[in-house]
């Protein structure tokens, strides 16, 4: 009797995620990056933009009363933008919000509250309510969208957003998922990665390269808004020299063929 074949397992379903590029121009054009904790299972020790998976609380319809730009976006974009702002709050202590009179939120973010939100002990919505502010969903500009290749065991559908950081808020790492928060020029990130002084995973490095094409925060946002968004789902291409990860030629990164042995994360 023939043994039944076990059905092959398909690719893992990508989980929705959001990443935020917080930009400033003083003392030079810089982006805020955080260093992942070495005990985190994904991109441990790497220099990354604040971000992560969306949470159930990011979909709460009650956000409609606590978010500027709510009606400008569909449910998917609302959830992603709330998730991106929440991650910036948790990991970097930056809250992209305004008071009901239109004044930008400028206070320091309580580390204990940030940790409680990160642990799921306090709802981010309740924090925003208590502060009497509204999230600036409309301040975020779509920068890129990347989907993890199909052969990877953990996959994410990650939207990258660019935004000018509030001038009067101080970034601080959370000490749990991130162990450092650093304002850094895009060109310096690339130099450090090339020299092996910092770990910068492939998607982050590609987006830092794209970021480095801008002259300022305003220029970066303008370029992002002018670009036609092309979703990046890297494909494996086998050549005589070995296997390479290639990007869509029209995605804005130029011709990219990354040796598979260099892919980390």
Q: Which residues are 183's β-sheet partners?
A: 32
How far is 44 from 35, CA to CA, in rounded Å?
Answer: 8
* Residues of the chain predicted below pLDDT 50: 1, 6, 37, 39-44, 265
Cα within 13 Å of Cα(26), Cβ side: 4
> What is the model's pLDDT at position 179?
59
The confidence score (pLDDT) of residue 264 equals 54
Residue among 131, 142, 148 at smallest CA distance from 16: 148
Q: Please tell me whether residue 204 adopts helix, strand or coil conformation.
A: helix
Return the pLDDT at 101.
Answer: 94
The residues, ordered by sequence, that sit 6+ positions from 166 with a Cβ below 8 Å of its Cβ are 94, 95, 96, 104, 105, 106
Whether the upstream peptide bond of residue 27 has omega within 30° of 0, thus cis, is yes
Give the integer Cα–Cα distance in Å for 207 and 160. 9
Q: How do 235-239 and 242-246 pair as beta strands?
A: antiparallel
pLDDT of residue 85: 98
CB atoms within 10 A of CB 15: 14
Q: Going by C-beta distance under 8 Å and a sequence separation of 6 or more, which residues neighbour residue 3?
A: none
Q: Are strands 242-246 and 97-99 parallel, antiparallel or unpaired?
A: unpaired
Distance CA 99, CA 132 (A): 6
- Phi, psi values for residue 198, rounded to 5°: -135, 150
The pairing of strands 242-246 and 67-68 is: unpaired
DSSP class of residue 120 equals T
Q: What is the pLDDT of residue 170?
A: 87
Question: 214-242: string of b/e by CB count within 10 Å (b at 16+)?
Answer: beebeebbebbeeeeeeebbbeeeeeeee
65-96 pLDDT, tens digit per residue, is 999 999 999 999 999 999 999 999 999 999 99
C-alpha span between 105 and 107 (Å, rounded) = 6
What residues pair up with 23 in beta bridges, in sequence order? Answer: 31, 164
Quote the crossing angle between the two packed helices 124-131 and 111-119, to the nearest 10°: 150
Domains contained in the chain, CATH given: 15-228 (3.90.79.10)
SS3 for 133? strand
Beta strands in the chain (DSSP E): 15-24, 30-36, 47-48, 51-53, 67-68, 97-99, 133-136, 141-147, 156-164, 178-184, 235-239, 242-246, 257-259
The pLDDT assigned to 39 comes to 44
Note if the pTM is more than 0.85. yes
Rg (CA), the chain: 19
- Determine the pLDDT at residue 174: 58
């Amino acid at each position: 009797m023939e043994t039944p074949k076990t059905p092959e397992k398909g690719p893992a379903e990508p989980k929705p995620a959001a990443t935020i590029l917080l930009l400033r121009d003083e003392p030079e054009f810089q982006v805020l990056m955080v260093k992942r904790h070495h005990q985190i299972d994904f991109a441990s020790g790497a220099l990354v933009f604040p971000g992560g998976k969306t949470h159930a609380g990011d979909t709460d319809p009650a956000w409609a009363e606590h978010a500027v730009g709510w009606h400008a976006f569909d449910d998917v974009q609302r959830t992603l933008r709330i998730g991106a702002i929440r991650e910036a709050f948790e990991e970097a202590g930056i809250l992209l919000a305004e008071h009901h009179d239109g004044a930008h939120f400028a206070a320091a973010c309580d580390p204990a509250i940030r940790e409680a939100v990160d642990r799921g002990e306090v709802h981010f919505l309740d924090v925003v309510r208590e502060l009497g502010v509204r999230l600036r969903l409309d301040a975020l500009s779509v920068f890129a969208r990347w989907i993890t290749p199909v052969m990877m065991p953990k996959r994410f559908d990650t939207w990258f957003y660019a935004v000018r950081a509030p001038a009067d808020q101080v970034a601080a790492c959370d000490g749990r998922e991130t162990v450092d928060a650093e304002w850094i020029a895009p060109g310096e990130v690339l130099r450090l990665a090339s020299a092996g002084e910092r770990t910068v995973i492939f998607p982050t490095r590609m987006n830092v390269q794209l970021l480095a094409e801008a002259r300022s925060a305003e220029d970066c946002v303008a370029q992002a808004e002018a670009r036609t968004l092309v979703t990046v789902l890297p494909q494996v291409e086998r050549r005589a020299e070995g296997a390479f990860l290639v990007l869509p030629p029209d995605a804005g990164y130029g011709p990219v063929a990354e040796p598979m042995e260099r892919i980390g994360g």
